Amino acid sequence: MEKGGQQVNENGHDLYRNIGNDYQEDVVEDHLGDEGYSDAHTDPEDEDYVPGRKQSKAPVKHKRLPPHLVQELITAYEQCTHPDANTRQEIAARLDLHPKQVKIWFQNRRSQMPKKAQVKENKEIQQDNASLQSENQSLRQAMMTQSCITCGSKTLPSDPLSEKQRLLIENGRLKDEYLRATAAHSKTIHTSALAGPAPPLIIGSGADREALRRHADASMEQFLVLATKGEPVWIPTTDGDMLDNNYGATMSSFLFGLRPKGFAVEATRDTAMVWGTAADLVGILMDTTRWSEMFPGIVASVTAGDFVSTGIFASCDRQIQLMNAKLWVQSPRVSNRTVNILRFSKLVDEKQWAVMDVSVDGVLGQEEVSPSRYMGCRLLPSGCVIEDMNNGYCKVTWIVHAEYDETTLPMMFKPLFRAGQALGARRWLASLQRQREYAAALLSSRDPVNNNTAETGILKLAQHMMATFYTSVSGPFIQTQATSNTSEWVGSIGTGIERCDATVRMVTLKKTSTVAGESDTLFLCATTTLWLRGILPESVFSYLRNEQLRAEWDVLANGAPVELLRYIATGYPVGNAVSVLRSNYTDGTNNKILILQETCTDSSGSLVVFAPIGEESMYAAMNSGDNTSLSFLTSGFAILPDGRGNARHDLATAPSTSRAPACSSNTGGSLLTMAYQVMLPSSPDNAVDEMGKFICHVVEKIKIAVKAEIMLPV
């Protein structure tokens, strides 16, 4: 029966009184000097059961171990729950115990742990049940007395609204949501009819130019304050700095007015050393083409507009230009972020430059913004301060301060954006560092002393491959003539706790043949994103880049370890490299297939991208360096942190404070996006289903390898 929420026996004693403590597991039977002991392991259910052993009726002495020995045994148990005889002998010798005492303590510990967990779970369920019953009782009482649950006062009866009044209220609510809903809808169904033309980047009258110049000057002033201030404007965290909530809200209202409903704030800062001179970096950032090439994993596309100011003496100093950019994250579940900005470069000091971006939405007085010009993000003063260190490197401080429409994000991606790890300062700066190191490796291969044409050809080939991967894995596919069909496949493999589910976006691409008489070629691009709870991105990256384990998940490995033919390091840390691998796989014509692979990793995430390439095509590219005629069936993995278990995530919703909260003890997980491209046969009836099952198979292998208990589709 129950008494006071606890289960008791007929004498009123708590049934779980002794289960929740450590008394039973700290007590061992004392058999020192009793060599004829034969009571242990007579139960056939015991994992150490010895057949034929008879139970003794002799009384057994019990001995409670002192606390320091118990702590030593617990430490040993955490390392191994089932020690063998040699291990038990070592523990006994170290703790001055008999091996049988150690053995019995481990048996007691193993038997008590499930009981403790069950008791804890029962207590939690009882507490939840009591809370729900209390809430239910309060609701019933409020319904009976017609009173307010919060204050207890009587509620007034409301007159039923007429249909016309109800429609007017609903219409007012919908007007407030109209722009955001229209934009989200256009991103979901990928139709050009709702997308509308891009915002104009042409400056009209002289008054407009002057308004933009004033906006740029005011924004640069605010940006330099952000770049130079410390606490309490910036709050230190484990992943850089985060802007104080009150200061950010004041700046936002000063430049753009009130924040739109449903918009969240992203404000992060980070500093690092980057290879190159200040003039080199400023030149890259002020050239739209080179800027997009420097950040291929972030910048999807960019359109250059008119110059507000061309700079002083043909330099980049005080150069102001309109731009429209689309930013992406490596997942098909996240829509591209569009920003309409002014880019302003300024020589702050003799060897210090500032390059600042700020949104121009509403600056020229467009009060009524059409749905086609709706922006799901507005950029407050953001950018970088570059200080030349005179040693071949620059100190770069990067700031991202943005307000974005959080309602368009999938639930699993919201912590990633709130933590600033999706499009925050750390990702921009890490990408800049990695790309500059890649450029240094490419420059070294072109050195006349080295004259390594083959290495140059491989690196350029890898750049071409990576560009196709970013296009296939990031953002939505826009319906074009080359895209014949887009669908979603949902399936699973396995049963029970071993079951692996996947939701896969299937896009059929058509490539028109340029040779007369040849039919068009169909390709299938399959992408999916999964959440691995509690598994760090480093663990997933380490497994996927291991050549010896590649046969577990890669069909190109043909069931055997691959051979590493070429390895070109492209940066620090280890893992940033371009490789050429050889497998036993052939294309059916005895033409050997090589695997071109690029792996890259930094604090913002990791990539493992690969593509099959014929041996002859590879050698041709290595000799000539020309890869323009090659087409790739690129596949790979994008591994991002999930934004959980992070000080930034806790700080994003915390009240303003001068100190950052302590890091969460929860281990962060990973967001794994995989993409595969294959050529379809002439009759692709079952191709989509087969590809979906293949991806489920790969998911299952990864889940087992990284020991992920939970792996859910996003």
Q: Identify the CATH number of the domain in which residue 75 sits.
A: 1.10.10.60
Q: What is the pLDDT of residue 658?
A: 29
Distance from C-alpha of 33 to C-alpha of 18, rounded to nearest angstrom: 30
CB neighbourhood size of 452 (10 A): 16
Q: Do 589 and 487 have their domain in common?
A: yes
Q: How confident is the model at residue 64 (pLDDT cuts 50, 70, 90)?
A: confident
Distance from C-alpha of 408 to C-alpha of 657, rounded to nearest angstrom: 29
Distance from C-alpha of 492 to C-alpha of 608, rounded to nearest angstrom: 24
**Residue corresponding to tokens 């691995």:** 532
Token couple for 347 = 């020589």
| CB distance 639 to 606 below 8 Å | yes
Q: What is the pLDDT of residue 466?
A: 94
Domain containing 590 equals: 453-713
Distance from C-alpha of 714 to C-alpha of 331, rounded to nearest angstrom: 10
| CB distance 266 to 401 below 8 Å | yes
How large is the average pLDDT for residues 586-595? 74
| Backbone dihedral angles phi then psi of residue 428, each to the nearest 5 degrees | -60, -45
The residue out of 115, 142, 170 marking a domain boundary is: 115
Q: Do 368 and 468 have their domain in common?
A: no
Q: What is the CATH number of the domain that holds 413?
A: 3.30.530.20
pLDDT cut 70: percent of the chain above it: 72
**Residue corresponding to tokens 């739209």:** 288
Q: Do 430 and 514 have their domain in common?
A: no
First to last CA, the chain: 45
Distance from C-alpha of 294 to C-alpha of 286, rounded to nearest angstrom: 12
Question: Is 93 a member of any domain?
Answer: yes
Q: Which amino acid is at 270?
A: D
- When mean pLDDT is compared across 33-42, 400-409, 526-535, the lowest value belongs to 33-42
The pLDDT mean for the chain works out to 78
DSSP letters spanning 125-137: HHHHHHHHHHHHH
Q: What is the pLDDT of residue 388?
A: 95
pTM of the model: 0.69
Q: How confident is the model at residue 301 (pLDDT cuts 50, 70, 90)?
A: very high
Q: How many structural domains comprise the chain?
A: 3
| CB distance 219 to 255 below 8 Å | yes
Q: Measuring CA to CA, how many Å separate 498 from each of 215, 309, 337, 696?
A: 57, 61, 37, 12
| CB distance 51 to 59 below 8 Å | no
Q: What is the pLDDT of residue 192?
A: 33
How large is the average pLDDT for residues 304-314? 80
Q: Do 502 and 392 have their domain in common?
A: no
Q: Do 468 and 328 have their domain in common?
A: no
Which one, of 566, 574, 568, 565, lies nearest residue 542 by Cα?
Answer: 574
Upstream peptide bond of 573 is cis (omega within 30 degrees of 0): yes
- When mean pLDDT is compared across 85-89, 249-253, 323-327, 675-679, the lowest value belongs to 249-253
Highest-confidence segment of 115-129, 188-202, 590-604: 590-604
Query: Is residue 426 predicted with pLDDT exceeding 60?
Result: yes
Greater model confidence, 339 or 161: 339
Q: Do 426 and 457 have their domain in common?
A: no
Question: Is 134 a member of any domain?
Answer: no
- What's the alpha-carbon Rg for the chain, to the nearest Å? 32
**Residue corresponding to tokens 């204050």:** 151
How large is the average pLDDT for residues 534-546? 94
Q: Measuring CA to CA, how many Å separate 38 from each of 29, 31, 57?
A: 12, 10, 9
- Length, in residues, of the chain: 714
Q: What is the pLDDT of residue 311?
A: 74
Token couple for 311 = 């700079």
- When mean pLDDT is compared across 112-121, 269-278, 561-570, the lowest value belongs to 112-121
Angle between helices 453-473 and 615-624 (to 10 degrees): 120
Question: Is 477 a member of any domain?
Answer: yes
Distance from C-alpha of 152 to C-alpha of 480, rounded to nearest angstrom: 60
| CB distance 426 to 647 below 8 Å | no
Q: Are strands 670-679 and 521-532 parallel, antiparallel or unpaired?
A: antiparallel
- When mean pLDDT is compared across 193-202, 293-302, 582-591, the lowest value belongs to 193-202
Render pLDDT for 325-360 as a digit per residue (tens, 0 to 9): 999 999 999 989 999 999 999 999 989 999 999 999
Angle between helices 99-145 and 67-79 (to 10 degrees): 80
Q: How confident is the model at residue 81 (pLDDT cuts 50, 70, 90)?
A: confident
Which one, of 89, 66, 61, 63, lies nearest residue 76 by Cα?
Answer: 89
DSSP bridge pairs for 6:
3
The secondary structure of the chain in percent helix, strand, coil, rounded to multiples of 5, reads: 35, 25, 35
Question: Is 142 a member of any domain?
Answer: no
Q: Measuring CA to CA, how many Å separate 408 from each of 184, 267, 711?
A: 6, 19, 23
Which one, of 476, 471, 473, lies nearest residue 292 by Cα?
Answer: 471
How large is the average pLDDT for residues 648-663? 35
Q: Do 409 and 477 have their domain in common?
A: no
Q: How confident is the model at residue 164 (pLDDT cuts 50, 70, 90)?
A: low
Q: What is the pLDDT of residue 326?
A: 93
Q: What is the pLDDT of residue 386?
A: 97
Q: How confident is the model at residue 165 (pLDDT cuts 50, 70, 90)?
A: low
- Count each helix (H run) and each strand (E run) in the chain, helices first: 17, 24
Distance from C-alpha of 490 to C-alpha of 456, rounded to nearest angstrom: 42
Q: Do 437 and 477 have their domain in common?
A: no
Greater model confidence, 488 or 31: 488
Query: Is residue 524 predicted with pLDDT exceeding 70?
Result: yes
Distance from C-alpha of 188 to C-alpha of 192, rounded to nearest angstrom: 11
467-497 as b/e, with b when 16 or more CB fall inside 10 Å? ebbbbbbbbbbeeeeeeeebeebeeebeeee
How large is the average pLDDT for residues 496-523? 77
Q: What is the pLDDT of residue 626?
A: 62
| CB distance 70 to 22 below 8 Å | yes
Q: How confident is the model at residue 380 (pLDDT cuts 50, 70, 90)?
A: very high
Greater model confidence, 115 or 337: 337
Q: How confident is the model at residue 668 (pLDDT cuts 50, 70, 90)?
A: confident
How large is the average pLDDT for residues 213-237? 90
- When mean pLDDT is compared across 237-246, 288-297, 576-585, 685-694, the lowest value belongs to 237-246
Query: Is residue 493 predicted with pLDDT exceeding 90?
Result: no
Q: Which long-range contacts (CB under 8 A, 24 or more apart) does 109-117 make?
A: 109/25, 109/73, 109/74, 109/77, 109/81, 110/81, 110/82, 112/19, 112/22, 112/24, 112/25, 115/19, 116/19, 116/20
How large is the average pLDDT for residues 389-403? 95
Q: What is the pLDDT of residue 27?
A: 60
The residue out of 445, 476, 496 marking a domain boundary is: 445
Greater model confidence, 367 or 145: 145
Q: Do 557 and 408 have their domain in common?
A: no
At 513 the three-state DSSP class reads coil
DSSP-assigned letter for residue 52: T
Which one, of 657, 249, 606, lies nearest residue 430 by Cα?
Answer: 606
Query: Is residue 705 predicted with pLDDT exceeding 50?
Result: yes
Q: Do 706 and 592 have their domain in common?
A: yes
How large is the average pLDDT for residues 270-277? 95
Greater model confidence, 175 or 257: 257
Query: Is residue 210 predicted with pLDDT exceeding 80?
Result: yes
Q: What is the pLDDT of residue 37?
A: 39
Greater model confidence, 626 or 652: 626
How large is the average pLDDT for residues 220-249? 85
Query: Is residue 316 predicted with pLDDT exceeding 60?
Result: yes
Query: Is residue 260 predicted with pLDDT exceeding 90?
Result: no
Q: How confident is the model at residue 515 (pLDDT cuts 50, 70, 90)?
A: low
How large is the average pLDDT for residues 39-67? 55
Query: Is residue 437 predicted with pLDDT exceeding 80?
Result: yes
| Backbone dihedral angles phi then psi of residue 212, each to the nearest 5 degrees | -65, -35
How large is the average pLDDT for residues 518-542? 89
The residue out of 445, 478, 498 marking a domain boundary is: 445
- When mean pLDDT is compared across 304-318, 611-625, 655-669, 691-705, the lowest value belongs to 655-669
- When mean pLDDT is compared across 154-158, 164-168, 587-591, the lowest value belongs to 154-158
Q: How confident is the model at residue 712 (pLDDT cuts 50, 70, 90)?
A: confident
| Backbone dihedral angles phi then psi of residue 549, each to the nearest 5 degrees | -105, 5
Q: Do 564 and 610 have their domain in common?
A: yes
| Backbone dihedral angles phi then psi of residue 314, each to the nearest 5 degrees | 60, 20
Question: Is 175 a member of any domain?
Answer: no
Q: Do 470 and 330 have their domain in common?
A: no
Question: Is 64 a member of any domain?
Answer: yes
Degrees to nearest 5, angle at CA 458 with 455 and 463: 125
Question: Is 29 a member of any domain?
Answer: yes
Question: Is 167 a member of any domain?
Answer: no
Q: What is the pLDDT of residue 153?
A: 60
Render pLDDT for 443-483 as a digit per residue (tens, 0 to 9): 887 766 666 788 888 999 999 999 999 988 886 666 655 55
- When mean pLDDT is compared across 15-24, 405-414, 542-551, the lowest value belongs to 15-24
